């Protein structure tokens, strides 16, 4: 269907880094690319910080987006392997000093189980700080939707977002997690149109968010918008998923 929406917030983008064969890009150029592809704003996360020094790359992300806080909403990351106290200390620094507004976890790349003793305290503190937590999900053995849901259940006041809605193989588990747990939301970054249609049919629309994985390659954002629109849902539903739902979680402010 034709996309008639005028505002789109992408809740799953990345600052290009050197990881995964990427090439850094000036933030102004990245913003121009995203706006050209149809975005009004973007939640943005580090890539290098997931594999390298998270503190250093949290600082880099905050510095890069500083002139563009009317468009980019930065998410930090922390390392659970350093223990709850150190990870929470970095989380608090990112909020107080860097004005980060969310937390990104990638258990598969960061190599931690959801049963790691630091995970739940970090999630609970994130909720106390008003930060949503976006997880990479859909790739066993570390990042299945129901593993994340088990941890989310212990942090009921924290918004937990499954960043890929289970991808292709585990989308049904993502649906179950969303239905069972009031604090679990789904980012529609990954499933096919067919599976997205089922997600739209079964899950509360208010808990669905648009995401593209933008930042890795040009055209990714536009492709995500086209794919989400191709589900055939109404303009009103698309406007909730594209803009109203993420705006309720993290209002875009200059």
- Distance separating alpha carbons of residues 66 and 246, to the nearest angstrom: 21
Residue 18 lies in a domain: yes
Structure confidence by residue, pLDDT tens digits, 162-185: 999 999 999 999 999 999 999 999
Q: Peptide bond preceding 41: is omega within 30 degrees of 0, i.e. cis? A: no
Residue 62 lies in a domain: yes
Residue 1 lies in a domain: no
The CATH number covering residue 173 comes to 3.20.20.140
- Distance separating alpha carbons of residues 126 and 128, to the nearest angstrom: 5
What DSSP letter does each residue of 205-239 carry, written as one string? GGGEE----BTSSTTHHHHHHHHHHTT---HHHHH
The dihedral over CA atoms of 153, 108, 21, 217, expressed in degrees to the nearest 10, equals -40
Residue 216 lies in a domain: yes
Model's pTM, two decimal places? 0.96
- For residue 151, how many other CB atoms are within 10 A of its CB? 22
Residue 162 lies in a domain: yes
pLDDT band at 119, cuts 50/70/90?
A: very high
Residue 4 lies in a domain: no
Residue 45 lies in a domain: yes
Domain tally, the chain? 1
Residue 254 lies in a domain: no
Residue 241 carries which DSSP code? I
Give the range of the structural domain holding residue 243, as residue numbers without chain letter: 9-249
């Amino acid at each position: 269907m034709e996309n008639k929406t005028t505002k789109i917030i992408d809740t799953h983008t990345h600052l290009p880094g050197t990881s995964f064969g990427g090439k850094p890009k000036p933030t102004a150029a990245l913003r121009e690319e995203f706006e050209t592809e149809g975005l009004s704003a973007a939640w943005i996360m580090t890539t290098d910080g997931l594999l390298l020094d998270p503190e250093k790359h949290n600082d880099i992300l905050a510095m890069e987006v500083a002139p563009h806080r009317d468009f980019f909403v930065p998410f930090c990351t922390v390392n659970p392997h350093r223990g709850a106290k150190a990870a929470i200390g970095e989380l608090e620094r990112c909020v107080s000093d860097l004005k980060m507004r969310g937390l990104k976890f990638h258990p598969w790349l960061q190599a931690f189980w959801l049963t790691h003793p630091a995970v739940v305290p970090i999630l609970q503190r994130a909720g106390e700080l008003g930060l949503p937590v976006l997880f990479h999900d859909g790739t066993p053995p570390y990042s299945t939707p129901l593993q994340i849901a088990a941890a989310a259940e212990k942090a009921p006041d924290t918004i937990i977002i499954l960043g890929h809605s289970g991808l292709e193989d585990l989308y049904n588990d993502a649906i179950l997690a969303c239905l069972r747990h009031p604090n679990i939301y789904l980012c529609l970054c990954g499933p096919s149109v067919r599976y997205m249609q089922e997600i739209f049919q079964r899950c509360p629309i208010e808990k669905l968010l648009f995401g593209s994985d933008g930042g890795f390659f040009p055209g990714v954002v536009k492709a995500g918008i086209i794919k989400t629109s191709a589900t055939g849902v109404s303009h009103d539903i698309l406007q909730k998923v594209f803009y109203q739902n993420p705006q309720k979680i993290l209002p875009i402010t200059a």
